[in-house]
């Protein structure tokens, strides 16, 4: 009976000692690092060092002319794709308005209003085609995309000036535009890979230079 009493007493004492480590009023308080642990992986506390060597981040201010050229070309291709994608909806708008205007139950007052809307939509289409042709100067400047994109502009421009007899004929033109915009997407993806490659190489080069500089400074300090 006495043995059980001693065991219970030891357990109570051990439990009390454990709690005393976290009691600021106790003489047994652990006095550990009071710095709150950052959440979200923002910072590793000094009391929790990483087993991995922390790599020094080196900022690169200039990735070179090839990087800038590819970035600019990729952005221009994106703008070209957006412009080409506007042609179809304008043509569809003109066709839809003409269909309403030519309907047997359309009154004269409605036709006058619809005619004005057709002219507005046609003007929008003309502006889009003009913007599209402005990209010829980009592709004539000597890029790897000259031939296919100059041809694409001519095909889309011709299609934009065509009067479509029915939706099936118009659908073929929509497919043509989609084929060209899909090429843009593919080329943008390839350009991005080239951009990433240049960026990785420049950052690796800068990191190596920084490491050599740190090593030289350490040698001088010895």
Which residues are CB-neighbours of 157 under 8 A, at least 6 positions away? 129, 132, 133
Cβ-based neighbour number of residue 76 at 10 Å: 15
pLDDT band of 33, cuts 50, 70, 90: low
C-alpha to C-alpha distance for 180 and 157, rounded to whole angstroms: 13
Q: How confident is the model over 49-88, as pLDDT tens digits?
A: 555 555 555 677 788 999 999 999 999 999 999 999 999 9
pTM, full prediction: 0.65
Tokens linked to 25: 């009023």
- pLDDT tens figures, 113-130: 999 999 999 999 999 999
Per DSSP, the residues of 144-159 read TTHHHHHHHHHHHHHH
Contacting residues for 81 by C-beta, under 8 A, at least 6 apart? 181, 184, 185, 188
Q: Which two tokens stand for residue 124?
A: 């929008």
């Amino acid at each position: 009976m006495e043995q059980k009493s001693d065991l219970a007493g030891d357990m109570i004492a051990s439990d009390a000692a454990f709690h005393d480590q976290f009691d600021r009023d106790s003489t047994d308080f652990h006095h550990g690092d009071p710095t709150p642990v950052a959440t979200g992986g923002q910072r590793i506390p000094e009391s929790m060092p990483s087993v991995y060597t922390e790599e020094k981040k080196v900022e690169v201010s200039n990735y070179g002319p090839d990087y800038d050229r590819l970035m600019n070309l990729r952005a221009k291709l994106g703008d070209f794709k957006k412009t080409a994608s506007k042609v179809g909806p304008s043509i569809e708008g003109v066709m839809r308005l003409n269909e309403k205007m030519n309907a047997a139950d359309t009154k004269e007052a409605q036709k006058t209003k619809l005619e004005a809307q057709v002219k507005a939509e046609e003007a929008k289409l003309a502006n889009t085609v003009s913007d599209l042709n402005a990209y010829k100067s980009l592709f004539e400047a000597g890029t790897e995309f000259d031939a296919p994109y100059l041809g694409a502009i001519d095909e889309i421009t011709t299609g934009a000036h065509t009067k479509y007899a029915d939706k099936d004929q118009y659908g073929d033109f929509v497919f043509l535009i989609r084929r060209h915009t899909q090429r843009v997407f593919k080329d943008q993806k390839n350009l991005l890979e080239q951009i990433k490659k240049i960026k990785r190489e420049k950052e690796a080069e800068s990191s190596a230079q920084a490491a050599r500089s740190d090593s030289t400074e350490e040698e001088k300090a010895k």
